[in-house]
Amino acid sequence: MDVVPWPEELVERYRRAGHWQGRPLGELLRERAREHPDAPALLSDGLSWSYAELDERGDRLAAGLVDLGVRPGDRVVVQLPNIPEILPLLIALFRLGALPVLGLPAYRASEAVHLCRSTDAVAYVVPDTDPDTGFDYRELAAEVRAKAPSLRHVLVAGEPGLYTPLREVDAAPRPLPAPAAGDPAVLLVSGGTTGLPKLIPRTHDDYFYNLRASAEVCGLHERSVYLAVLPIGHNFPLACPGVLGVLHAGGTVALCPSPSPETAFAAIERFRATVTAVVPPLAALWSQAVRWSAADIGSLELVQVGGARLSPDAARLIGPALGCELQQVFGMAEGLLSYTRRGDDAETVATTQGFPLSPDDEIRVVDAAGEDVPPGAVGNLLTRGPYTLRGYYRAPEHNLRAFTADGYYRTGDLVRLTAEGRLVVEGREKDLVNRGGDKISADELQNHLRAHPAVLDAAVVPVPDLYLGERTCACLLLRDGHDEAPDLTAFLHDRGLATYKIPDVVRIFDAFPLTSVGKVDKRELARAVTPKTDATASELRPGDPGAGTRSR
């Protein structure tokens, strides 16, 4: 089975509660476009589209895609940066019932081929080049196409090279059968812990609820201007409440081409942005940079920070520095969202990740045996609810481990609940590195590292980093005859791995520390590679007494 449904009694409950309204996502703009056709829907450098215009572009593109042969239920891998074209494309795919598979601009052949192959995608949509680095996505597409036989089309936003220009996928709007609201609308990529990332089916009903309830919690309205800084392919800027949430509220999406403080502050000033979402390192950078900026960012009312741990000290600086309210967001592409609420006192916002979004989010905090921990104690977070997946896409084996028998998703996060029921994230059990919000699966990276001829075995662990929170450390055992760290950057690059996954630190070991059952002891390894304040990591070896400054 591709997609695991919710049990019937929960379907009934979510409908009765009004969470699921039976509306497909393609209806998002319809009403506003009809009643306020001239209201601004999208702003970007030198460009402004009204609701009527965005609505029509969605319809024309949907008709054009149907003419190309894209059918309801087909998968289309979308790997676009924050450019205007991404919005009509998503709307068109929602309307015709084809599923966008959302990749990040940083992905390279390894990730993009996996997305196309694991979904049997019929089309792959890319920009022409990255204006900052010159990276040519059409060359990437050539490689992907050669390795993904299901692809029938490569569509390019911009100069198409050998491929089809996205702007020519265009036809007179015509009525299309609406997809069922219980069908998947989009496939999101999991930050996941397995060798290759799993895909998360989000249905029209569940994702509509996700963005609608999020827009409400954030107080979005028709005059809200949401600045998209993080890549829109990520759940946070897409629907929490993100660009889709602000369109639902009748507000305006503004696109920011780069998260750098200069560019972002200029965009806030120019578009009079009222709300945006960033990861903790960006929030910290902006809080510093604002002191030297002449830009007027006074329109900003709310900055959402999420994706990785935000320290209370860093949190306390953000609101005063940027002159707006801070909201902490703990979320996951799999579903569950937890938000501090507008008007919460500053200490609550600095020290908790707030309440789950929905009254029907079910939360359990359990020990290793799966038993509920005493109130207030730290444990593994399990959750199910009206917008949390019941199973990964085409992954029956993995689903047996990732979910309890009664359908709770095992998040892999360690949390506690305050007396009021707020969530506080204390760490995680899952085997990944959270590099300032970018998730790197240890398993995936280890598999690449083990393919290097000099590498006998590899174990990937996080090392603390002042700016990113964590960086990636590759611990290696070398084969006989090799005694120096190999050049992994070129090697991993050649394997088509996204640059952010390339290890920041490499350490060579004679042996890995093992647990009592003979597995690599990652906790011990992480401790061993964590520099003491008066020593460098390279001087440490596993087993050094007090080698770590933190334990997880």
For binding to ligand OOB (CB under 6 A), which residues are involved? 191, 235-236, 240, 306-309, 328-333, 337, 353, 411, 413, 425, 428, 434, 439
75 vs 410 by CB, closer to ligand OOB: 410
32 vs 430 by CB, closer to ligand OOB: 430
The CA–CA distances, whole Å, from 257 to 83, 165, 245, 449 equal 7, 21, 20, 33
Neighbours of 532 (CB within 10 A): 14
At 139, which helix (H) or strand (E)?
helix 137-147
Rounded to the nearest 10 degrees, the angle between the axes of helix 109-119 and helix 137-147 is 40
- The phi-psi region of residue 101 (left if phi > 0; otherwise alpha if psi is between -120 and 50; otherwise beta) is beta
Q: Under DSSP, is residue 25 helix (H, G, I), strand (E, B) or coil?
A: helix
44 vs 472 by CB, closer to ligand OOB: 472
191 vs 496 by CB, closer to ligand OOB: 191
158 vs 437 by CB, closer to ligand OOB: 437
Q: How far is the CB of 211 from ligand OOB (least distance, A)?
A: 11
Nearest alpha-carbon partner for 28 in 300, 210, 224, 265 = 210
Q: How far is the CB of 282 from ligand OOB (least distance, A)?
A: 13
Q: Please, are residues 156 and 166 in contact by the beta-carbon 8 Å criterion?
A: yes
163 vs 392 by CB, closer to ligand OOB: 392
Tokens at 98, concatenated: 């084809």
Count CA within 13 A, CB hemisphere, residue 123.
25
The CA–CA distances, whole Å, from 460 to 193, 433, 471, 549 equal 12, 8, 10, 18
Q: How far is the CB of 353 from ligand OOB (least distance, A)?
A: 5
b/e map of 369-392 (b: 16 or more CB within 10 Å)? Answer: eeeeeeeeebbbbbbbbbbbbbbb
Strands (DSSP E) along 340-378, which ranges?
A: 355-356, 362-366
240 vs 520 by CB, closer to ligand OOB: 240
64 vs 231 by CB, closer to ligand OOB: 231
Q: How far is the CB of 310 from ligand OOB (least distance, A)?
A: 6
145 vs 410 by CB, closer to ligand OOB: 410
**Greatest CA separation found in the chain?**
73
Q: How far is the CB of 552 from ligand OOB (least distance, A)?
A: 12
Q: How far is the CB of 220 from ligand OOB (least distance, A)?
A: 15
327 vs 530 by CB, closer to ligand OOB: 327
| Alpha carbon distance 381, 425 (integer Å) | 9
The CA–CA distances, whole Å, from 376 to 63, 130, 275, 312, 408 equal 54, 47, 32, 19, 20
145 vs 309 by CB, closer to ligand OOB: 309
List residues bridging with 474 in a β-sheet: 460, 506
Tokens at 474, concatenated: 């590759």
Q: How far is the CB of 237 from ligand OOB (least distance, A)?
A: 9
Strands 199-203 and 184-189: antiparallel
311 vs 489 by CB, closer to ligand OOB: 311
Q: How far is the CB of 80 from ligand OOB (least distance, A)?
A: 18
C-beta nearest to ligand OOB: residue: 331
Q: Under DSSP, is residue 424 helix (H, G, I), strand (E, B) or coil?
A: strand
Q: How far is the CB of 107 from ligand OOB (least distance, A)?
A: 14
Q: How far is the CB of 525 from ligand OOB (least distance, A)?
A: 20
Q: Please, are residues 50 and 38 in contact by the beta-carbon 8 Å criterion?
A: yes
Q: How far is the CB of 333 from ligand OOB (least distance, A)?
A: 4
Q: What is the dihedral of CA 527, 529, 532, 537, to 10 degrees?
A: 170
Q: Under DSSP, is residue 356 helix (H, G, I), strand (E, B) or coil?
A: strand
Q: How far is the CB of 513 from ligand OOB (least distance, A)?
A: 24
- CA geometry: angle 470, 476, 481, nearest 5 deg: 155
Q: How far is the CB of 413 from ligand OOB (least distance, A)?
A: 5
82 vs 353 by CB, closer to ligand OOB: 353
- CA geometry: angle 204, 415, 549, nearest 5 deg: 130
Percent of residues in the chain assigned helix, strand, coil, to nearest 5: 30, 25, 45
